[in-house]
A and B are shown apart, each in its own frame.
Chain A
């Protein structure tokens, strides 16, 4: 499952991710990370049986943990099947079918949000 970890300014300089991983032994597969002096945001994959313990550990250290359970969704009315979203997705969620319609393999989506900014027709949304 995909999770998002928000780290507020007061703890952003502390190595809480590393601590939690060492403490729980949970294998966190980080797919996106953004840090600046005011906050940190990490998107990662974790197996569902390890989720509880890493969540408790991170929350105990002051982070916020959200489950990303709604991958990218496309409004078929708005979409004109241009394919502009294809080249910016880091995990190749979008592709063309043989008849040049757009195929969306949303199971692969790591919910980074890049394609939303790319779509000229505002056809893409993330549920959270």
Chain B
């Protein structure tokens, strides 16, 4: 059994005799020499990843103004930062949106601007106190004007992540990118073979205090990240590093259309090969790492798993879903992940970076539980009107007008001969047909692309659909597309009025 200590490895780093390889290179070395041979041969294995890590942000200290202010709310380039801490500290989170530019500019962009040395406009307000009399502050700063700019990311470097697809008939815009209709594509995140936590799945060398590569400089693991869920293979890390020393090569703002901003963070962890078990773990390949393909078309916490898949399959460019060849896209950059693993390797070789043992191991038994919800979470079936009349697509539009008038419905779902929903017709469609003097059938004047709800859908989801599609009613359909009710914006307003 090979046994090495951190001190021995650091001595080799100091005298230049250390043998460092990347996690990709280690696969072949273990294949050739076996775990024991590789453990003798190799001292450190470097990992790397570069991808969207929403749960990132920076602590900033601005120094005191004259006269002093205790800032209670503040904005950096119009993006709100949390400042309910002491007087002149604030935390800017990557996903916070600009108040004026919306989704196109967010906390991540402020962070990238700071890293690039660009100027940032600051606006802060305060109620004023005897010791902090000032009520408003407006100034322009850059990163060099700050006392501290400490990146502190609550949840980075997921061990692995679910892959995403979309079974609905319309494109979804998510933090996993654009998901095309009818499972038209699959997106995935993570660096597979280079993934830091997958190369040390038992957290023997990664823990509180581990020195790492973060954003182009040395950083540290603070401890487990939020939602750390090791039993399921979804471990996470909380990381810190000095933003002032980071580089825009490895800290990049991103905007996901329809979702908002996120931060691409480059990080890598060196894994000291202390024994053959660690050597074996670092030989993990893309084919060994399994994840789930989830259907993001279901807007629920429990998204259905369409299949399991390995990173090897995902990285091949396409996977099979229900007999269909579906193209895959990574959201993380493998090229940059590789660059990071190589740069870290170089630092260690050059004697610029020393490995460390954690001062505390990461927990291995925590789970990520769902939110406890104490208020009732109503579903569509609780508020929909089940007294709904439909009309056949081959009826004349006069018949539709008559039903609308008699029943005083504004929205009339249209069905085919099998009673399946095929469209919707409104009083507006009828007025249009009358104005144009076109005496058509219902199917000629109806809207075919109808947005629907299902009976067991949460009301919040329907409210979002009404709002984002700019419609005022959703026919409620069962799994056979039979209309079982209708839910309108009025029903939802009434519910909300009761709630508040």
Distance A96 CA – B173 CA, assembled complex (angstroms): 23
Contact residues, B303-320 vs A (CB, 8 A):
317
Contact residues, B249-276 vs A (CB, 8 A):
252, 254-257, 262, 264
Are the C-beta atoms of B332 and A82 separated by less than 8 Å? yes
Q: In whole Å, how far is A105's beta carbon from the nearest beta carbon of chain B?
A: 15
Tell me whether chain B's interface is mostly helix, strand or loop, or mixed.
strand
Are the C-beta atoms of B333 and A81 separated by less than 8 Å? yes
Contact residues, A48-89 vs B (CB, 8 A):
80-88
Can you list, as one digit per residue, whether each of A99-128 has a CB less than 8 Å from chain B (1) or not (0)?
111000000000000100110111000000
Distance A81 CA – B336 CA, assembled complex (angstroms): 8
CB < 8 Å: which of A84, A95, A117 contacts B331? A84
Given A88-B185, A100-B335, do A83 and B178 touch, yes or no (CB 8 Å)?
Answer: no
Given A99-B335, A117-B178, A120-B52, do A84 and B330 touch, yes or no (CB 8 Å)?
Answer: yes
- Residues in A whose Cβ lies below 8 Å from that of B186: 87
Tell me whether chain A's interface is mostly helix, strand or loop, or mixed.
loop
- Residues in A whose Cβ lies below 8 Å from that of B334: 83, 100
Are the C-beta atoms of A82 and B333 separated by less than 8 Å? yes
Q: In whole Å, how far is B65's beta carbon from the nearest beta carbon of chain A?
A: 35
B50 at the interface (CB under 8 A from A): yes
Are the C-beta atoms of B327 and A87 separated by less than 8 Å? yes
Given A117-B178, A122-B255, do A82 and B331 touch, yes or no (CB 8 Å)?
Answer: yes
Are the C-beta atoms of A88 and B329 separated by less than 8 Å? yes
B210 at the interface (CB under 8 A from A): no
Distance A117 CA – B264 CA, assembled complex (angstroms): 17
Are the C-beta atoms of A118 and B177 separated by less than 8 Å? yes
CB < 8 Å: which of B187, B254, B262, B264 contacts A87? B187
Can you list, as one digit per residue, whether each of B172-189 has a CB less than 8 Å from chain A (1) or not (0)?
010001101000111100
- Residues in B whose Cβ lies below 8 Å from that of A81: 333, 335-336
Q: In whole Å, how far is B336's beta carbon from the nearest beta carbon of chain A?
A: 6
CB < 8 Å: which of A80, A100, A101, A120 contacts B262? A120
Q: In whole Å, how far is B84's beta carbon from the nearest beta carbon of chain A?
A: 30
Q: In whole Å, how far is B337's beta carbon from the nearest beta carbon of chain A?
A: 9
- Residues in A whose Cβ lies below 8 Å from that of B264: 80, 82, 120-121
Q: In whole Å, how far is B285's beta carbon from the nearest beta carbon of chain A?
A: 16
Are the C-beta atoms of B51 and A82 separated by less than 8 Å? yes
Distance A122 CA – B264 CA, assembled complex (angstroms): 13
Highest count of chain B CB atoms <10 Å: which of A80, A88, A101, A120: A120
Are the C-beta atoms of A86 and B327 separated by less than 8 Å? yes
Are the C-beta atoms of A120 and B256 separated by less than 8 Å? yes
- Residues in A whose Cβ lies below 8 Å from that of B257: 117-118
- Residues in A whose Cβ lies below 8 Å from that of B187: 84, 87
Chain A residue with the shortest CB-CB distance to B176: A84
B328 at the interface (CB under 8 A from A): yes
B338 at the interface (CB under 8 A from A): yes
- Residues in B whose Cβ lies below 8 Å from that of A96: 317
Given A117-B257, A120-B256, do A86 and B329 touch, yes or no (CB 8 Å)?
Answer: yes
Are the C-beta atoms of A80 and B329 separated by less than 8 Å? no
Distance A81 CA – B264 CA, assembled complex (angstroms): 12
Given A120-B52, A121-B252, do A85 and B335 touch, yes or no (CB 8 Å)?
Answer: no
Contact residues, B36-59 vs A (CB, 8 A):
50-52
Distance A87 CA – B50 CA, assembled complex (angstroms): 19
Distance A87 CA – B256 CA, assembled complex (angstroms): 15
- Residues in A whose Cβ lies below 8 Å from that of B335: 81, 99-101
Contact residues, A22-65 vs B (CB, 8 A):
none
Q: In whole Å, how far is B106's beta carbon from the nearest beta carbon of chain A?
A: 12
Q: In whole Å, how far is B238's beta carbon from the nearest beta carbon of chain A?
A: 23
Highest count of chain B CB atoms <10 Å: which of A82, A88, A95: A82
Are the C-beta atoms of A100 and B338 separated by less than 8 Å? yes
Q: In whole Å, how far is B130's beta carbon from the nearest beta carbon of chain A?
A: 48
CB < 8 Å: which of A83, A117, A121, A122 contacts B330? A83
Chain B residue with the shortest CB-CB distance to A82: B333
If A81-B335, A83-B330, A100-B334 are given as contacts, then 17 extra A-B residue pairs at C-beta distance below 8 Å, sorted by A number, are: A80-B333, A80-B336, A81-B333, A82-B264, A82-B333, A83-B329, A83-B333, A84-B177, A84-B187, A84-B330, A84-B331, A88-B180, A88-B184, A96-B317, A118-B329, A120-B177, A120-B255
Q: List 14 A-B residue pairs with CB atoms under 8 Å apart, sorted by A's residue number.
A: A80-B333, A80-B336, A82-B332, A82-B333, A83-B334, A84-B329, A86-B329, A87-B326, A88-B180, A100-B335, A100-B338, A117-B257, A118-B257, A120-B255
